[in-house]
Amino acid sequence: MKIIYCKAGCFLHPTKNLKDNINGYIIIYKSLDNFLYLGYIKKSSLTTSYVDYFDTLDLYFVKDSIIDQKPTRVDLNISGGIDFANKYLYYSFPFDSINLIHFRKPSKFYKGSILIKLLNSKEFVIFLHDDECESTKKIKQFKIKTQYNPFDNKNELYYGGEDLKRAIMKVTPMMREKNNENVYILNNKVSSFTSDLENKDTGSFWNNLENTKWSLMAKFADLSVSLTSKETYKKNEKVKWVMNKIQEIAPEESKKFIIEQQRYLQHWAERFKNNSEQEGIIKLRKIEMTNDGKEFIYQTERDSVLDLNEIMDDEGYLKITMFELRSLFNFNNISNEIRIKMYPILLGVYDISSNELKRLQDDENMKLEYEKLSTKLNLSTGNDNFSGDGLDENSFQILKDVYRLSSMDPILANDEGEEEENWSLSNEHLISINRILLNLTQNHPTQYVQGMADIVSTIYLLYPSQEALVYNISLRMFDDLKLRENFREDQKGITHNLDILNILTDILMPSLMKKLKQIDAENFVYVYKMFLVLFTRENFKSHDLLKFWDYTIAGFRKYPQTWIVLGILYKYKKYIINQVSSFDDLFIFFNKLEIENADEILQISDWLYLKYFNTIKRFDMERLKWDVDNEADDPLGPTLRGILDQPID
């Protein structure tokens, strides 16, 4: 027999318990009678030398998946090929007997899998544990370094099914099903192999697999990817019921569940952590698992990465991938030097693959473009005359607020003797900030709103005198990170953020939510400013403001500010429940709040994220008991699922 393809880390899930999973290999092979087969080998049935052999084969085909070329064929170096097949193949069937193969992409909650439907209507599901497949890891690492853009939804992350699909396509024609791009049809009519297959001794095993249940599970996987429901969380009684039930989970059960399911979320972080440590580049923070899922206990500060050389080489090339960079900013404390260098890269102002020279060239181009833009500013904006005389409303609002920034930092101080009466600017940095704000708002429907100057000035203080760069960073923050949405006149952006906060507080901190409702404070307007201007220095006892900015600019979470605010709410939950007696008290509390340890808040944020992830996972497990024939009936809805969106998925 000749093996054409081998893939490790392929699992059967005979029950929902992880311990019952069966590890093995998918192989494509050509029999001595020249028929092509798809086979599955159970790892535990192999001797150590065979395990080594198949692991080697798994890696042998990596280059096929990276570089498109004719399939490599390997003679299986074993005597008695037929005997081997009979002895070790858990099952196998000729490609001519396969009706279709459904390649299921991994979701937040499920492994990738393939569903094989035979012409005799039998279905088999094999799960692809990418984290346990060395070849997939290598291919993925290669793809991430060369292609992966976390903000591009179309450029989806590589998963093990892709190279399997590619390998199958090389040996047999497949036609994509018109209604589902992940379904490939191999044969449409019953072939002569059907009866042979039925006679083959595979039935006993598959009959015991509870195959139907796991096909059902795979349907959930599809659901969680496709997000087809239009139902909303608040209106759905089923969701309320299940959510309540989840909240009532007995501690032991909850703990067991969380420990079991944490693996799903950790796989990514763990793998990158291991890779990074091996390469000596960065240490990603491991999410603390010592907490029992009920209360967060702060233990130690997050790891710090302070030396730019750890992530950037002498020419200014980044040593790490974009994913690693986003992880770094989400999970670690970093130095100001790294922050200043990386913000423009994280925001896409500079290309991830650029070096210092290229960035200098980009700076020059940026300046030219910015100058052109500035010349187009309406003359009535006071572009040349930085005083309040004769300005339109938008320009006057900007000027007035920029003028008042002069107390923010010594470098922004207006000259002595400047009087408020004509709001005139003499400080060159203030003039720059004024111009940046004009460029950002003059031709945009949202126009200038108070608070925008706070954001831009914070960036400016990181890059003083680099007006074009500050403009471009601000523009990306306003539009790519959607900060401008919070300033909309119709309140759509900020309302959405506060709604998400409401939902998450309800799920993650029901006792706090109960209190907030008691004092009519569930509108969360007292944290409005935190969303609007990304927190302010007054919120901190130390100089930790930019740690929250790092978490936001990292782009690692879909709603980073919401998770931070949740972390703050959690930290002060007991105080609010026990000490606050009215809406006004609560407002005053937040108004005076000085956060002592931003590091702790960010760790709580990540912990809450994990808790929410587990809640949703639990919800999906509950759904197994429901009638789920209608795939569009996902009562959780896209809003609740969308909260978990993150680049690593």
Partner 1 sequence: MSDTGDNQYNYDYDLLYKLVLIGDSGVGKSNLLSRYSNNDFQINSKSTIGVEFATKAVKVDGKIIKAQIWDTAGQERYRAITKAYYRGAVGALIVYDITNTKTYENCSDWLNILSTNLENNDIVIGLIGNKKDLQHQRSVPIEEAQEFARNNQLLFTETSALSNENVEKAFTELITTIYENSKHQTGMETVTKNNSSSIGAGNTVSLTKSNKEKKSSSSGQCC
Residues at the contact surface with partner 1, assessed by CB under 8 A? 397, 400-401, 403-408, 414, 419-421, 449-451, 453-454, 487, 489, 491, 523, 525, 528-529, 532-533, 536, 581-585, 587-588, 591-592
| Minimal distance, residue 522 CB to partner 1, in Å | 12
| Minimal distance, residue 222 CB to partner 1, in Å | 41
Distances (CA, A) of 341 to 357, 432, 535: 14, 21, 22
**For residues 320 and 309, is the Cβ–Cβ distance under 8 A?**
no
Nearer of residues 205 and 528 to partner 1, judged by Cβ? 528
| Minimal distance, residue 443 CB to partner 1, in Å | 18
Q: CA 387, CA 456: separation in Å to the nearest integer?
A: 20
In this structure, which amino acid lies at residue 156?
E
Q: CA 117, CA 185: separation in Å to the nearest integer?
A: 9
Q: CA 532, CA 302: separation in Å to the nearest integer?
A: 26
Closest CA to 621 of 15, 10, 207: 15
Nearer of residues 139 and 405 to partner 1, judged by Cβ? 405
| Minimal distance, residue 529 CB to partner 1, in Å | 5
Closest CA to 114 of 69, 178, 155, 159: 159
| Minimal distance, residue 596 CB to partner 1, in Å | 20
Nearer of residues 74 and 408 to partner 1, judged by Cβ? 408
Query: For helices 134-146 and 160-171, what crossing angle results, to 10°?
Result: 100
Question: Which residues lie closer than 8 Å to 117 by C-beta, 6 or more apart?
Answer: 98, 99, 100, 101, 102, 123
Q: CA 411, CA 600: separation in Å to the nearest integer?
A: 32
Beta pairing, strands 304-305 & 112-118 = unpaired
Question: Which residues lie closer than 8 Å to 203 by C-beta, 6 or more apart?
Answer: none
Specify the length of the chain in residues. Answer: 649
Tokens representing 641?
Answer: 């699922």
Query: For helices 545-553 and 598-623, what crossing angle results, to 10°?
Result: 40
Nearer of residues 585 and 633 to partner 1, judged by Cβ? 585
Nearer of residues 315 and 419 to partner 1, judged by Cβ? 419
C-alpha torsion angle, residues 8, 182, 557, 145 (rounded to 10)? 60
Q: CA 322, CA 378: separation in Å to the nearest integer?
A: 39
Nearer of residues 265 and 483 to partner 1, judged by Cβ? 483
Nearer of residues 33 and 421 to partner 1, judged by Cβ? 421
What are phi and psi for residue 112, nearest 5 degrees? -70, 160
| Minimal distance, residue 228 CB to partner 1, in Å | 34
| Minimal distance, residue 408 CB to partner 1, in Å | 7
| Minimal distance, residue 582 CB to partner 1, in Å | 5
Query: For helices 467-479 and 452-462, what crossing angle results, to 10°?
Result: 130
Nearer of residues 367 and 488 to partner 1, judged by Cβ? 488
Closest CA to 411 of 431, 386, 429: 429
Q: CA 472, CA 375: separation in Å to the nearest integer?
A: 16
| Minimal distance, residue 421 CB to partner 1, in Å | 6
Nearer of residues 206 and 583 to partner 1, judged by Cβ? 583
Q: Indicate the helix (H) or strand (E) that contains 42.
A: strand 36-42
Question: Which residues lie closer than 8 Å to 357 by C-beta, 6 or more apart?
Answer: 315, 316
For residue 412, how far is the Cα from the chain centroid?
A: 38
Nearer of residues 498 and 566 to partner 1, judged by Cβ? 498
What are phi and psi for residue 570, nearest 5 degrees? -65, -45
Distances (CA, A) of 331 to 283, 285, 325, 366, 570: 10, 6, 10, 31, 19
Q: CA 610, CA 590: separation in Å to the nearest integer?
A: 26
Nearer of residues 315 and 489 to partner 1, judged by Cβ? 489
Nearer of residues 32 and 588 to partner 1, judged by Cβ? 588
Nearer of residues 211 and 397 to partner 1, judged by Cβ? 397
| Minimal distance, residue 254 CB to partner 1, in Å | 36
| Minimal distance, residue 439 CB to partner 1, in Å | 20
Nearer of residues 325 and 437 to partner 1, judged by Cβ? 437
SS3 content of the chain, % helix, strand, coil (to 5): 55, 10, 35
Question: What's the count of helices (H) and strands (E) in the chain, helices before strands?
Answer: 26, 12
Nearer of residues 249 and 461 to partner 1, judged by Cβ? 461
| Helix ranges, 463-509 (H) | 467-479, 492-508
| Minimal distance, residue 276 CB to partner 1, in Å | 39
| Minimal distance, residue 427 CB to partner 1, in Å | 11
Nearer of residues 425 and 554 to partner 1, judged by Cβ? 425
| Minimal distance, residue 409 CB to partner 1, in Å | 11
| Minimal distance, residue 589 CB to partner 1, in Å | 10
Q: CA 141, CA 540: separation in Å to the nearest integer?
A: 39
Q: CA 29, CA 38: separation in Å to the nearest integer?
A: 7
Cα of first residue to Cα of last residue in the chain, in angstroms, is 38
C-alpha torsion angle, residues 474, 477, 480, 481 (rounded to 10)? -170
| Minimal distance, residue 214 CB to partner 1, in Å | 50
